[in-house]
Structure 1
Amino acid sequence: MTFKYAKFDDTVTISYNASHVTEPGARLCGFKEGDKISVKDLLYGMMVYSGNDAAVALAEHISGSETDFAAEMNQEMVAIGASGTHFVNASGLHDDQHYTTAYDLYLIFHELLKYDDFKELLQCTKYTAEWTDAQGKKQSLDITSTDPYLTGSRQAPKPLTVIGGKSGTTIKAGSCLIMYSQDKKNRDYISVILKADSSYSMYTQMNHMLEYVKRGK
């Protein structure tokens, strides 16, 4: 939705709702009500830092409210054939009525790969988000990717190259990961792991999946 409907240089004012994400364990960028920040910095805060407050702020900017954003996302899912997905929030934090499937995640990711800005974001290892608080003071957050494929602590099976991906973890969903990779002929692959019992297991399973890709080619 952000890549489709928003401009990176748009300025967003953080609302009370976005600055008060209270779910236990929710990762936050730490924005305060009245902060002013660009869509681009919010997007990097959401995708690279996994800031749930950034996700809410983007949803409100695009649709006016998180509820309306979820409704519009559900319409987008119908349009791309993601029939096993239903949104009730922007962050992906647990709700019994918020769900998806591995295939639907593939469909969503495939749509996002149409945007060059998304591909660039996936490869980001370091970024500094900057904004102005309600008193006009400059604030910043240094963001470092925890993706082991990008940091070099884990290697994909050769000749595959991991371009980037997105992980997420909740108690109910476990450790989840969607990954974009290419082979030496620049053919694209999207791989999905859901409900792993730990981050280590998730990345180990991803490497096993990439091994199957390698054998198939």
Structure 2
Amino acid sequence: MKNKRFLILIVLFLVFSISSNVFAEGIDGTTDLQEIYGKAAITVDVATGEIIYAKSVDKQMYPASTTKLMTALLLAENMGKNDELKYTQSAKSQPADSLNVNFHPIGLDETMSAADVMDGLLLYSANDLAYMIADNVSGNSTNFMKMMNDKAAKLNMTGTHFVTSNGLHSPDHYTTPYDMSILARTSFLNPWVKESMNKKKNTLSTSKGTRFVIENSNKLLGSDGCIAGKTGYTSKAGRCLVAFYERNGREIMGVVMGSIHDANDTYVFNDMKKIIDYSYNLQQTVLHAKNDIIKTETLEYKPLGFFGPEKAVSVPLVAKEDISYFNNEANKKELQENINLTSTDLSSLKGNKSIGTLSLTEKGKVKTYKLYSMASSGTLTKNIILIYLMAAGIFILFLIGIVFIIRKINLSKKKKRKSKFKRNSR
């Protein structure tokens, strides 16, 4: 009995070990993503805009200070680095908390260069500087709120509404991880915003000579390929983070929202590292392999080109590259394939040129692949030969008809001559 129990325990141990290895390794040999603490997250290939990893990407959430990416973008689009910005009353009235701070004390109407304000906004996450930007760019915070929402609409951020320029809590101030990825990618592609997010520290000064030494609040910056980012926190939003990475020439960005904030402030940064590492290792899922038949269409074409009768032929369609996508909840939900055939001449049917395209729709992205015909050359040749034989047959019949007519005419002439000869001989 004891031996049986011992054997059962060994079997259970082996099963558990095998199961652990199966779940630890993905089907492509890469490590599967462990659970993150963030309530929602997304990663995106910066160059292509494709979503790589997705968790509740359309969930409306509070963005906290990641909002400041929109404020930074509007500053970059409306002012120059050397422009001077005045410190305003609405800036001075902004509250601060443990992670979102102010540049107090700065006197009203004291000025800072736009370059220093940008760094104070993105590195130090200063709440007052966000309102300083709002007042100087648009006149007041109400006008700036409209600018923010107009820009969001232009970027097709359909799940977003902004109220504050610094991200302090309002129930009507929200976005989604997907929308934030759009904003973050757009901001990163702005050279000035990207340059500022990339700085680890800087020394800022005001028109009265007040100096501030600031450090970037993004703890990941400079390690494992992290080249930029923006942090965020409110008690309602939880810990938020946007981060950009470059490894081996490939840039991937991530957004984590609703993560945990604790005394050591590590959860959101660990979340980001997990989804970024996962995204760099993930291979695309192949829907249609190179040269595999995607679909067979029956097409009408004219074997002789622009004239002659039409023939029907079965045309297998293939692509000369893998048709693939990143398999995640966001892409799978909107995945669609659409085939558009644009050419059915003999050259395209022989596969010498593209016969059309396949459009693969994912969330926020459409990829287009050229399609080629794999129609049987024997069938195409046979159809051409048949047409030529038919044409030759018709031509022969035409010639026989002409010969018959000519012969009939000649016979008629002979009869007339004979008849005339008989009349004359009398």
TM-score relative to the length of structure 1: 0.89
Give the drift of 1:189: 1.1
Q: Which residue in the other structure is 1:85 paired with?
A: 160
Q: Does 1:58 align with 2:129?
A: no
Q: Give the number of the structure whose alpha-carbon radius of gyration is greater.
A: 2
Matches within 5 A, 1:15-164: 15-22=88-95, 25=98, 26-30=100-104, 31-132=106-207, 137-150=208-221, 155-156=223-224, 161-164=225-228
Cα separation, 2, equivalents of 1:45 and 1:57: 11
Tell which deviates more after alignment, 32-41 or 76-85.
32-41
- 8 A Cα contact 1:29 1:51, kept in partner: yes
C-alpha distance in 1, partners of 2:200/2:81? 19
Separation in 1 of the partners of 2:197 and 2:151? 22
Cα RMSD (Å): 1.5
Q: Which residue of 2 aligns with 1:211?
A: 277
Residue 250 of structure 2 corresponds to 187
Counterpart mapping for 1:197-208 below 5 A: 197-198=260-261, 199-208=265-274
Q: 1:23/1:129 Cα in 2 relative to 1: closer, same or farther (>3 Å)? A: closer
Deviation at residue 32 of structure 1 after TM alignment: 2.7
Amino acid at match of 1:178: V
Q: What is the rounded CA distance, in whole Å, between the counterparts of 1:147 and 1:24 in structure 2?
A: 17
Q: Structure 1 unaligned runs (5+)?
A: none
Quote the offset at 1:146 in angstroms: 3.0
1:93-120 deviation line (CA, Å, top 9, x unaligned): 0000000110111100111122222221
Given that 2:252 and 2:276 are in contact with CA atoms closer than 8 Å, whether structure 1 keeps it comes out as no
Provide the rounded CA distance (Å) in 1 between the counterparts of 2:281 and 2:129.
39
Moved over 4 A (4+): 23-26
Contact 1:18-1:33 within 8 A present in 2 as well:
no
**Deviation of 1:208 (Å):** 0.9
In structure 2, the gaps of 5 or more residues are 1-73, 284-426
Matched-pair contact (CA < 8 Å) for 2:82–2:115: yes
In structure 2, distance between residues paired with 1:9 and 1:211? 38
- Which amino acid in 2 is paired with 1:170? T
CA distance in 2: counterparts of 1:204 and 1:113, whole angstroms: 22
Distance of 2:244 and 2:258 partners within structure 1 = 19
Task: Say whether the 8 Å CA contact 1:80–1:107 is kept in structure 2.
Answer: yes
Residues 182 and 72 (structure 1), Cα distance of their counterparts in 2 relative to 1, 3 Å cut = same
Amino acid at match of 1:36: T
Q: CA deviation at 1:89?
A: 1.0
Q: Secondary structure at the match of 1:148?
A: coil
* Residues 87 and 110 in structure 2, CA contact (< 8 A), matched pair in contact too: yes
Percent identity over paired residues: 26
Give the drift of 1:169: 0.5
